[in-house]
Amino acid sequence: MPFLLRNLTLNPDEEEAALRPLVALKIGVRESEITGLSLVRKGVDARKKGRIKLVYTVQFALKDESGLTVGGDLSRLAAVPPPVFPRLSGAGGIVIVGMGPAGLFAALRLAEYGLAGLVLERGRPVDERARDVARFWRAGELAPESNVQFGEGGAGTFSDGKLTTRVKDPNSRYVLEQLVRFGAPPEILYAAKPHIGTDRLRCVVSGIRERLLEAGFEISFQSLLSGLKLSRGRVSGVVVNDAVERPCRHLVLAPGHSARDTYAMLLEAGVALEQKPFAVGLRVEHPQELIDAIQYGAAPHPGLPPAEYAQAYNNTRTGRSAYSFCMCPGGVVVAAASEAGGVVVNGMSGYRRNSPNANSALVATVGRVDFADGSPLAGVDFQRTLERRAFAAGGGNYRAPAQSLLSFLGKGVGRIKSSYRPGVTESDLAALFPAGVSATLKEGVLDFEKRMRGFISCEATLTGVETRTSAPVRIVRGADLQSVSHPGLYPTGEGAGYAGGIMSAALDGIRVADAIAAMFLP
């Protein structure tokens, strides 16, 4: 049985080949005794600035195990049997809406059981979508059905492809292995903070599509779920593009958090929806070298990844929090609108994370007190109002309002250097938000500065507005994962309000697929 050894440290300039002699030294065997050494986890310990270490957990076997006692950092690695999927068959009637991580992983998982169905995606295939997005960024021409939110791959396709999640789920390894199978870099299997990068993600997405077609799925692009058909109170069909009806017994609904027309259609159809708190704010952008210096306390070392950060602040008096979110080291700020006349920002990096800037969302929590009323879609209206204000402040053509961090805080002038395309216009960003939100964003930055000296810099730029942090709505489901109002409807992923991020959306899609597969068991 293999062993696991934790807490091996190397300096950033040491080769990973140095791990073998280090293991031998730590457990007191000759190097030649060690077989099959591989990485299980690799992280950065940046607690002591200027003395940054890489920290490893490795797995290995020994030719002769006798005499080796486990304990401390050394343990035995229990073998995890690969998942087994019974082959199922049935009358079918499975429809999956949305080809983001939730919909794609629901479909992949159903394929493991030998099940297939119809996949509806309102947007275009990933390569055509990439051209539509490039045109939007270059010329400000928004394609309402093919953009950063809509199209094959879902919202995370033009992202950093960060795969970190706080969700503890036994299927996490399965998701990572599937991503590697379809072209993600293998180090996501052991990196403490795995990421794929937008360039590699696009290949992964088309690889998954090929697999689904092989498994017998029918994939229909530019096909919007526009209505539901019911029979005896349960879902019996779907309406596509207001024109075609297709039969359906199990509807996996994974529309993402930006499908506002779909939320409205569901509300109209009487599907149980409820309001959900989320967060809004700005993108803050610094030179990556500055973040490296703050986090590592030294000039960047080629053996270290571009530094990251995650900060949070809570105002116990107001109950509002501010936090950094979706940080993209070596990335760019992107135009992420999906609705005409609104400006939305987000962040993205390539696999190499080699752009000169780091960016992160800087957001404050919002909820019922900020919305006009308690209706399920009031959070959507709140988002839309901010996006339209940002559009007006940017001066049209999807230029975004921007301001130096110093000027936002009233501490000086600073410079504006935003990577956002098609361009930015200097504006008073605080004026875009309700007073309580702006105040919390400012308090948050002042608090971050206590732990990250230099964060408030004349080189930091803010671009707005970041409104699509998570779903403003929950499509309420029960313990059986079906809509509490519409049996046969399985809301899943970020848009349903049950996930936040690529990993958790994929895991939620799998959970729903397993629940549907259980219905097909003999």
Ligand X SMILES: Cc1cc2nc3c(=O)[nH]c(=O)nc-3n(C[C@H](O)[C@H](O)[C@H](O)COP(=O)(O)OP(=O)(O)OC[C@H]3O[C@@H](n4cnc5c(N)ncnc54)[C@H](O)[C@@H]3O)c2cc1C
Closest separation in Å from C-beta 188 to ligand X: 12
Determine the size of the site formed for ligand X (CB under 6 A): 43
| Contact status: 148 vs ligand X (CB under 6 A) | yes
Burial of 200 (0-12, 13-18, 19+ CB in 10 A): buried
| Contact status: 320 vs ligand X (CB under 6 A) | no
Rg (CA), the chain: 24
CA distance 398 to 467: 15
Cis preceding linkage at 465, omega within 30: yes
Residue 95's closest CA among 200, 202, 238, 210? Answer: 238
Closer CB to ligand X, residue 2 or residue 472?
A: 472
Q: Which letter does DSSP use for residue 188 in this model?
A: G
Region binding ligand X by CB under 6 A among candidate stretches 147-155, 390-398, 450-458, 475-483 = 147-155
Closest separation in Å from C-beta 380 to ligand X: 13
Q: Which of 162, 209, 320, 486 binds ligand X (CB under 6 A)?
A: 162
Closest separation in Å from C-beta 469 to ligand X: 9
Q: Which of 292, 308, 339, 494 binds ligand X (CB under 6 A)?
A: 494
Q: How many CA atoms lie within 13 A of 442 on its CB side?
A: 17
**Are the C-beta atoms of residues 349 and 330 closer than 8 Å to each other?**
yes
| Contact status: 505 vs ligand X (CB under 6 A) | yes
Q: Which of 126, 271, 322, 336 binds ligand X (CB under 6 A)?
A: 336
Q: 285 in helix, strand or coil?
A: strand
| Contact status: 154 vs ligand X (CB under 6 A) | yes
| Contact status: 501 vs ligand X (CB under 6 A) | yes
Q: What is the 3-state secondary structure (H, E, C) of 358-403?
A: EEEEEEEEECHHHCCCCCCCHHHHHHHHHHHHHHHHHCCCCCEEEE
Closer CB to ligand X, residue 56 or residue 150?
A: 150
Residue 6 tokens read as: 């934790």
Q: Which of 306, 329, 495, 497 binds ligand X (CB under 6 A)?
A: 495
CA distances from 81 to 60, 171, 472 (A): 18, 13, 39
Q: How many CA atoms lie within 13 A of 216 on its CB side?
A: 11
| Contact status: 489 vs ligand X (CB under 6 A) | no
Closest separation in Å from C-beta 348 to ligand X: 5
Residue 334 tokens read as: 């992107």
Closest separation in Å from C-beta 44 to ligand X: 18
Map residues 48-87 to x or -, x wherever contact with ligand X holds by CB under 6 A.
----------------------------------------
Q: Which helix (H) or strand (E) holds 315?
A: none
| Contact status: 469 vs ligand X (CB under 6 A) | no
Map residues 98-137 to x or -, x wherever contact with ligand X holds by CB under 6 A.
xxxxxx----------------xxxx--------------
| Contact status: 329 vs ligand X (CB under 6 A) | no
CA distance 49 to 293: 9
| Contact status: 235 vs ligand X (CB under 6 A) | no
Q: Which of 117, 125, 151, 331 binds ligand X (CB under 6 A)?
A: 151
CA angle 519, 492, 201 (to 5 degrees): 115
| Contact status: 184 vs ligand X (CB under 6 A) | no
Binding site for ligand X (CB under 6 A): 97-103, 120-123, 148, 150-151, 154-156, 158-162, 224-225, 254-256, 259, 262, 326, 334, 336, 346, 348, 493-495, 499-503, 505
